[in-house]
Amino acid sequence: MGAHIATMAGGADPYGSIPNAALAVKGESIAWIGRAEEAMRAASARNIPQHDVRGRWMTPGLIDCHTHLVYGGNRVAEYERRLGGATYEEIARAGGGIQSTVRATRAASADELRVSALRRARRLMSEGVTTIEIKSGYGLDLGAERRMLEVARGLGRELPVSVRTTYLGLHALPEEYRDDRRGFVDAASGPWLEAIAAAGLADAVDAFCESIAFTVGETEQFLAAAKRLGLPSHVHAGQLRDVGAAELAARYGALSADHLECLSAAGTEALARSGTVAVLLPCAYFMLRQTAPPPVALLRAAAVPLAVATDCNPGTSPCTSILLALAMACTSFGLTPEEALGGATRNAARALGLAADRGTLEVGKRADFALWDIDRPAELCYALGANPCAGVVYGGRLRNDS
């Protein structure tokens, strides 16, 4: 008996599924996909090793395309204050929030950052995640930003998971620049960005374009500088207010615009025209007790590709479960299970600029896949808090490092 393969590659069947199927791997890539009987005959004739996956479901390796996985400390005390009625914005304006994680991250050694991030990465991997995007943004000076990105790159060497790094240069205004916004934006968009790009530490950039963070003008300066260096961009857009960040992201051809609880029809159209992926982050929405979800029906009607990610971070989403994010995307945001799974595979790959290489199970793509003890794919969104993952293959290799 072979696998039921959810290729997520489109086509007539839901989930692009192929029943009783098999997949052949050569090196790090998928060499063949088709019916199990055919594969078994060909493999036996040629003495190719076979693995019977006993009727399990197989999906592409999951891709968490938005995390802040590397950080110092935690924000559980802030969580308690928010439960007591304080808002995220109030805490941020009073110098807590992101600033408190900046203090803890600057104080942490590279090894301390590495050890806590490893734990979080392994939890994601245990649920079939084979690619993780990791942002900086809690250093906010060149040395500490570099350290975060180096730790993130190191995780990718230490673990079988693929890591993509993002320089989140504009996340918050650090204390030492309180009276010099211009100086900070100039540094982050100038010499710091150049040094990080020259060291090959970032695959992309990101900015928090928001009422409590950076303006459209400041974000534009940063994105323009990144573009000149050939670095693609993501934008944290419309999490708390609509300041026009989605339109800016679209204007710069950003790979993704993320959050989008506050998004107008014009912003949606702009994303559709630029092909920018809308990355939905339902765990942050839940933790901030927001009540107005992103305009999913508008996004869907405009054919904006939808991705789903954990947003793993100490403030708004201390979540290391991609399956929980998928469940919340369905229940809180109204995605179908097929859209949610597509959001952590095909469209997450696109949000990272990796669609040619991964995100679906197709011949020629990277052999990253997960095996599941489930009866049907929707169970990945349904079995709240359970982990039905029965195995993960990274680039053709079955590994148990999670």
Calpha distance 315→236 (Å, rounded) = 15
Site stretch for Fe ion (CB under 5 A), options 44-52, 183-191, 305-313, 374-382: 305-313
Closer residue to Fe ion in complex, CB, 231/284? 284
Q: Is residue 313 close enough to count as binding ligand NIG by CB under 6 A?
A: yes
Calpha distance 34→30 (Å, rounded) = 11
Which residues, numbered 158-217, are part of the site for Fe ion (CB under 5 A)? none
What, of ligand NIG, Fe ion, none, does residue 4 touch, CB below 5 to 8 Å by kind?
A: none
CB distance 53 to 20 below 8 Å: no
Instruction: State the residue for tokens 């734990």.
Output: 119
Q: Is residue 165 close enough to count as binding ligand NIG by CB under 6 A?
A: no
All residues at 6 or more sequence positions from 250 whose CB lies less than 8 Å from its CB, including other chains: 257, 267, 270, 271, 273, 274, 276
Q: Which of 261, 263, 181 is nearest to 222 (CA)?
A: 181
Q: What angle do CA 47, 49, 52 make, to 5 degrees?
A: 130
Calpha distance 115→133 (Å, rounded) = 17
CB distance 238 to 267 below 8 Å: yes
Q: Is residue 100 close enough to count as binding ligand NIG by CB under 6 A?
A: no
From the CB of 315, what's the least distance to Fe ion, in Å?
Answer: 9
Closer residue to ligand NIG in complex, CB, 8/69? 69
Q: Tell me the per-residue interface mask from 134 to 163 with ligand NIG, x by CB under 6 A, - otherwise.
A: ------------------------------
What the block records as the tokens of 137 is 């943004």
Calpha distance 324→380 (Å, rounded) = 9
Site stretch for ligand NIG (CB under 6 A), options 55-63, 241-249, 311-319, 358-366: 311-319
Which residues, numbered 183-242, are part of the site for ligand NIG (CB under 6 A)? 208, 236, 239
Closer residue to ligand NIG in complex, CB, 15/214? 214
How many residues interact with ligand NIG (rule CB under 6 A)? Answer: 13
Q: Is residue 311 close enough to count as binding ligand NIG by CB under 6 A?
A: yes
Calpha distance 13→9 (Å, rounded) = 10
What, of Fe ion, ligand NIG, none, does residue 208 touch, CB below 5 to 8 Å by kind?
A: ligand NIG
Cα 197 from chain centre: 21
**CB nearest ligand NIG: which residue?**
315
Which residues, numbered 24-83, are part of the site for ligand NIG (CB under 6 A)? 68
Q: Tell me the per-residue interface mask from 235 to 274 with ligand NIG, x by CB under 6 A, - otherwise.
A: -x--x-----------------------------------
Q: Is residue 133 close enough to count as binding Fe ion by CB under 5 A?
A: no
What, of ligand NIG, Fe ion, none, does residue 234 touch, CB below 5 to 8 Å by kind?
A: none
Which residues, numbered 6-45, are part of the site for Fe ion (CB under 5 A)? none
Phi, psi of 233 (to 5 degrees): -130, 160
Calpha distance 232→137 (Å, rounded) = 17
Q: Is residue 311 close enough to count as binding Fe ion by CB under 5 A?
A: yes
Pick one of 315, 337, 343, 359: the residue that binds ligand NIG (CB under 6 A): 315
Provide the 3-class DSSP secondary structure of residue 285. helix
Calpha distance 133→204 (Å, rounded) = 10
Closer residue to ligand NIG in complex, CB, 8/212? 212
What the block records as the tokens of 159 is 């673990």
What the block records as the tokens of 386 is 């359970």
Q: Tell me the per-residue interface mask from 279 to 298 with ligand NIG, x by CB under 6 A, - otherwise.
A: -----x--------------
Calpha distance 319→300 (Å, rounded) = 26
Interacting residue ranges for ligand NIG, rule: CB under 6 A: 68, 97-98, 101, 208, 236, 239, 284, 311, 313-316
Interacting residue ranges for Fe ion, rule: CB under 5 A: 311
